[in-house]
Amino acid sequence: MADAPSARDEDSTQRLAADGTVGSARPGTPEAPAAPRPAAAVPPVQQLPLSPRRRSRDEPAPTPVPVEQLPTSELPSARPADATVEAGPTDAAEETPAPVPARPAGPVIPEREDDDAPTAVVPAAVVPAGIFDDGPREPDEDPTEEDDATTVVPAAADTPPPAPPVEDDRTAGEPGRPWWKRPVVLAPVGLLVVLGVAYGADLLVAGDDVPRNTVVAGVDIGGMSPVAAADTLTADLAPRVTADHVIVADDVQGVLSPATAGITLDVDATVDAAGGQPLNPWTRLTSLFGDRQVTPVVTGDETALDAQLEQFAGTVDRAPSDATIAVEGTTASVVPAVTGRMLDRAGAADAVTEALASGGDPETPIELPVETTDVLVHEDAAQQALDQTVTPALSGPVTVVGDDGTTSAEVGVEAIAGALVFTGQQDGSLAVTLDPAALQASLGDELGEFGTPAQDAEFQVTGNAIAVVPSVDGTGIDPTVLAGQLLPALTQPAPRQVTATLGPVPADFTTDEANALGITEQISTFTTNFTNSASGTNIRVVAGEVDGAVVLPGDTFSLNGYTGPRGKAEGYVPAGVINNGEFTQAVGGGISQFATTMFNAVFFAGLEDVFHKPHSYYISRYPAGREATVYYDSIDLSWRNDSPTGVYVQAVWQPGALTVTFWGTQRYEIESVSSDRYNVRTPVVQEKPDDGNCSPQGGANGFDITVTRVFKDPATGQQIRTEDFQTRYAAEPVIRCIPVAPPAAPESTAPAAPATPAGRRPVRPRAVGVTS
């Protein structure tokens, strides 16, 4: 059985016979002759290729078949639309090819099979059915009327020759060349190969060196080995990091020592931060055209750096200061405001670290940040207060007249100037007021003329009892009221006068306050004796100053602080003191006896000893280990009233004796227990020239002693606690004053005769002008 025909079979082609009939051919099968048709003659047509086929190199170009121009009257298109052209009988083994459906009118241009073959122009042609089928027909598919139709292509008019064909890239130059061998592929591949070789060579040459063009704070270490890079950083960058740097905060300049703060350049970490050779080709390429900046690694002691900055902050920090008015004498002027500022500690530490890490010049100041605080009162507000209040206030005195009209006093410009007070307000203004205490201090005598003075409560000792002498309120001018009356008058023109109203003036220390102190009984007393008249004078003076002192609960009494300077102006005279281990004279000497007497009163009252210093040498008139020395402004005696009640100090001087008694409320019964003297030291003998400044001393042994204060309950005698006082006395040296022998008189000697040269006699001078 014969195979069904296929229109797209690559091994078969359909051809148009020269006489216009349609035939089919198969490879290896002779083409059957076409049977004649009774229809009109059809001019010969050119063979049309059924599908594009690539011609081999050795296959010759097909020769175009000449065709004749058909008369218009003989065109097949004159037939009815449904007419078909039947093919002649074919070989029995072949089936009739399927008819070709009609195609649009116009010339049919066959595909080019060879670049060199001419292109044939097809006139009118009868195209057999089936040539333009989409595919082979199934064997059991019946032909249709449309399949049997033959399309007639009308003849084309004369046309200009077609444009030269464009070569296909796929076959240009060398037809059939593989795509991967084409230049468009080989060129970039070759470039990539070259770049790859260069990249590998660059990596091989660089090895483990620091990447090229690497710069650390201005120091180029690119291309160096890690060891060489570390050496370079140590030599060129490390000294800049550790050198002293100038730091500046606002207008304050200082010096920062990184070495003191333990700040150093971590060379190894910096080299590590520079990194090894990058593997990214783009990174390696761009490194050829620019520097690669690496930040140095700086380490240090954060605490030490903060300590340096804190010390520097002491010169930077300042509180805001409002504009105010300064009064010197009776002249007032505006003091400008000062903005507050504070060193930003955290920001300063960051600024220092960043600057040191940049490796900058140590002489270039490191700017440190500060935080500022604005003031409340500015210069314009102070100037307004000066012009409107202060200047008129200091223009003259103010007269104060009592309300009875009999007493008057003048408040001078100096008193007004000394009492002026300037206070900044929330609205930015500067308020001017008067200080009542300053007025009282400067006008005490004048104000005392108004009314009667008040009397404070006092304690009076009679025998072994103490009582409160009640206070007495007075009458007079209240300084607070006076200040309020003077202020409006200060801005008035001269003459200025105010009328003061007298009122009650309460005592400073009232009866109720005295009774509340609980001073009701004697809690301790102690007496020492003396023979030196000069010392007695000084003891009398200091006893008079201290007598009557009241120490409130919780307060601390200081002898130097209470008496103040003890010089000639205060009535003290020269007396014996120990200076650098030698007995000598000084103004205020002998006060140590008062200090010793008071210390023993403190000891037996059970009060807290804050500070006392025993003498360097033991003095026999004092109890060993229970005595004290003082010297103004260098050695003090101080104690604290740690009891819940007050302490009244009574100091009684009499010729040859001093007694100090404390009054209050007894808490303890005190017992003193002394140890034996131990660590006894013998004196040394010192001989000094008796030049008028030498004072002989007999000397005394030195020793150590411990005195224990035993606290007992006064009601039961039960011991509560103990306290030890250890004292070490130096041995008093034996000083002998050795008379100084007078200097020996110089011996008289005749001047030696001048030496005579050997072998010659001395020549006598001849008399001049004398003749015999």
- The residue among 340, 375, 410 that closes a domain is 375
Pairwise CA distance, residues 433 & 440, whole Å: 15
Q: What is the structure's pLDDT at 502?
A: 85
Helix (H, G, I), strand (E, B) or coil at 94: coil
Residues in the chain: 772
Residue 745 lies in a domain: no
Domain limit, last residue, from 461, 480, 513: 513
Any idea which residue has 């002026």 for tokens? 420
DSSP category for residue 354? H
pLDDT in tens, 234-274: 888 888 888 888 999 999 999 988 888 888 888 888 888 77
Nearest CA among 612, 637, 585, 613 for reference residue 729: 613
Residues 155-208: tens digit of each pLDDT: 444 555 555 555 454 444 455 678 766 776 767 776 666 656 655 555 444 446
Please tell me the predicted confidence (pLDDT) of residue 241: 85
pLDDT digits (tens, 9 = 90+) for 143-162: 444 444 444 445 444 555 55
For residues 83 and 224, membership in a common domain is answered with no
- More confident position, 645 or 147: 645
Torsion of CA 200, 205, 208, 212, to 10 degrees: -100
pLDDT digits (tens, 9 = 90+) for 473-515: 998 888 888 999 999 999 999 899 999 888 888 899 999 999 9
Is position 772 within any domain? no
Query: For the segment 448-481, what is each residue's pLDDT rounded down to a tens digit?
Result: 788 888 999 999 999 999 999 999 999 888 888 8
Higher pLDDT, 205 or 431: 431
What is the model's pLDDT at position 197? Answer: 61
Kindly give, in sequence order, each residue whose CB lies less than 8 Å from that of residue 315, ignoring residues fewer than 6 positions away.
252, 254
The answer on pLDDT for 543 being more than 70 is: yes
Tokens found for residue 326: 């300064």
Under a CB-based contact definition with an 8 Å cutoff, are residues 408 and 401 in contact?
Answer: yes
490 assigned to some structural domain: yes
Same domain for 337 and 434: no
pLDDT interval class at 298 (50, 70, 90): confident
> Cα separation of 738 and 661, whole Å?
46
Query: Mean pLDDT over residues 384-409, rounded?
Result: 90
Cis preceding linkage at 495, omega within 30: yes
- pTM, two decimals, is 0.49
Range of the domain at 357: 207-375
Residue 126, pLDDT above cutoff 60: no
Looking at the structure of the chain, the number of domains it has is 4
Mean pLDDT of 709-724: 97
What is the average per-residue pLDDT within 292-304? 82
Does residue 707 surpass a pLDDT of 90? yes
Alpha carbon distance 167, 393 (integer Å): 115
Asked, for residue 178, whether it belongs to a domain, the answer is no
> Which residues partner with 459 through β-bridges?
468
CA neighbours closer than 13 Å in the CB half-sphere of residue 258 = 26
3-class secondary-structure state, position 176: coil
pLDDT band per the 50, 70, 90 thresholds, residue 557: very high
**In a domain? residue 196:** no
Residues 364 and 389 in one domain: no
* Backbone φ and ψ of 497, nearest 5°: -150, 145
Q: Specify whether 332 is located in the same domain as 225.
A: yes
Is residue 767 in a domain?
Answer: no
467: domain CATH number is: 3.10.20
267 vs 369: which has the higher pLDDT? 369
- Residue ending a domain, among 494, 513, 532, is 513
Give DSSP secondary structure letters for 244-313: -EEEEETTEEEEE-TTTTT-EE-HHHHHHHH-S----HHHHHHTTSS-EEE---EE--HHHHHHHHHHHH
Spatial distance between the Cα atoms of 428 and 384, rounded to a whole number of angstroms: 11
Q: Same structural domain for residues 140 and 42?
A: yes
| Mean pLDDT value across residues 596-623 | 96
Question: Within this chain, do residues 560 and 686 fall inside the same structural domain, yes or no?
Answer: yes
658-687 pLDDT tens trace: 999 999 999 999 999 999 999 999 999 988
pLDDT at site 483:
92
Dihedral of CA atoms 161, 163, 169, 173 in degrees, nearest 10, equals: 60
One-letter amino acid of 133: D
Residue 187 lies in a domain: no
Q: Are 597 and 660 in contact (CB under 8 A)?
A: yes
Structure tokens at 329: 């004498």
Does one domain contain both 548 and 687?
yes
Q: Report the percent of the chain where pLDDT is more than 90.
A: 41
**Mean pLDDT of the chain, nearest integer:** 77
Does residue 415 sit in the same domain as residue 361? Answer: no
Q: 412 and 331, same structural domain?
A: no
Asked whether residue 598 falls in the same domain as residue 657, the answer is: yes
Inside any domain, residue 195: no
Q: What integer is the mean pLDDT of 717-730?
A: 97
Do residues 338 and 297 both lie within one domain?
yes
Distance CA(420)–CA(439), nearest Å, equals 9
Residues 498 and 529 in one domain: no
